[in-house]
Amino acid sequence: MGMVITFANEKGGVGKTTSAACFAWILANYHKKKVLAIDFDAQGNLSDMLCEEAKDRGKSLCEQIGENFFSPISRFGMDIIPGKEDLVAFPDLTRNLGTGNKTLLPWLATHAYSYDFVLIDTLPHFGEITINAYAASDLVIAVTEPQYFSFKAIEIMVKNVELSRETLENEDLALRVLINRYDQNSRIHAETRNALEELYGSIIFRNFIKKRSSVEKLQMLFGDNRIRQEGLVQYYFPVQELLNWAEERNSL
């Protein structure tokens, strides 16, 4: 199986889902990687961005894991597993299967072995779903805005990743932080970014996403080719960073 990456943050509304969609598109279409995008959030925002009819056409992760089959839908050169409301019952599924925090991992190992990258978008809560994603992942990308409360959320995520390495038997789980919606004219943003780099320098993406209307439009208009091309531009650089990091990690 290729690299499994979870996009997460304990705080919502930071552009996590948009970032997951952009990374997936660039990896699949620009770098020609085989990509599986998993919407692991009952709200299904990633599904809505990547394929408006995904929830009608595709089976949710709960259905596929529960019945042990694999049936993604294809769009934008990648495969997608949509998020649906039945994901709220995922904790019940793990108990029924008796697999607990290791419910997602064996299913991916069985069905997603041919992909170069599996990208998972999670809800902003460190519960059963996110813990399962961490257990199955090689890397967690924490998307954050350069603001105080987002900064505090990164502190929590660092602790949760460290805890996951121990309790989930995933000692190689890595964490990288992507700064999003950065306003170069904001003193607070500059100070927060400097503080993040001072504390977590080695895990911060050097390339950050500036606050632009073209990026914000992606949430609702990802299917519009012009909007997508304009909004994706900034993401090409952190995606290249990711590929460089993955190559270096694989060579160790």
The reported pLDDT for the residue numbered 132 is 95
| Strand-by-strand arrangement of the 3-8 sheet | 73-75, 78-81, 35-40, 117-122, 3-8, 139-144, 174-179
The reported pLDDT for the residue numbered 11 is 67
The reported pLDDT for the residue numbered 72 is 93
d(CA 111, CA 123): 23
- The CATH number of 3-34+100-123+130-246 is which of 3.40.50.150, 3.40.50.300, 3.40.190.10, 2.40.30.170? 3.40.50.300
Q: Alpha-carbon dihedral of residues 191, 194, 195, 197, nearest 10 degrees?
A: 160
Low-confidence ranges of the chain (pLDDT < 70): 11-12, 53-56, 251-252
The reported pLDDT for the residue numbered 55 is 60
Which segments of 26-65 are extended strands (E)? 35-40
Backbone angles phi, psi at 48, to 5 degrees: -65, -35
pLDDT in tens, 44-89: 899 989 977 666 677 888 999 999 999 999 999 999 999 888 899 9
d(CA 81, CA 59): 7
The reported pLDDT for the residue numbered 141 is 96
End-to-end distance of the chain based on CA atoms, in angstroms?
Answer: 17
Give CA separation, 114 vs 35, 170, 214, in Å. 9, 21, 33
CB 181 within 8 A of CB 211: yes
- State the pTM of this model: 0.94
d(CA 170, CA 135): 6
* Domain boundaries of the chain, sorted by first residue: 3-34+100-123+130-246
- Three-state DSSP at 119 gives strand
Backbone angles phi, psi at 25, to 5 degrees: -65, -45
The reported pLDDT for the residue numbered 151 is 72
The reported pLDDT for the residue numbered 60 is 86
Q: Count Cβ atoms within 10 A of the Cβ of residue 211 and give its class: 0-12 exposed, 13-18 middle, 19 or more buried.
A: middle
- Would you tell me the crossing angle of helices 128-136 and 90-97 to the nearest 10 degrees? 60
The reported pLDDT for the residue numbered 58 is 74
Distance of CA 171 to the CA centre of its chain: 19
| The Cα angle at residue 248 between residues 8 and 29, in degrees rounded to 5 | 60
Residue whose structure tokens are 């839908």: 73
The reported pLDDT for the residue numbered 226 is 93
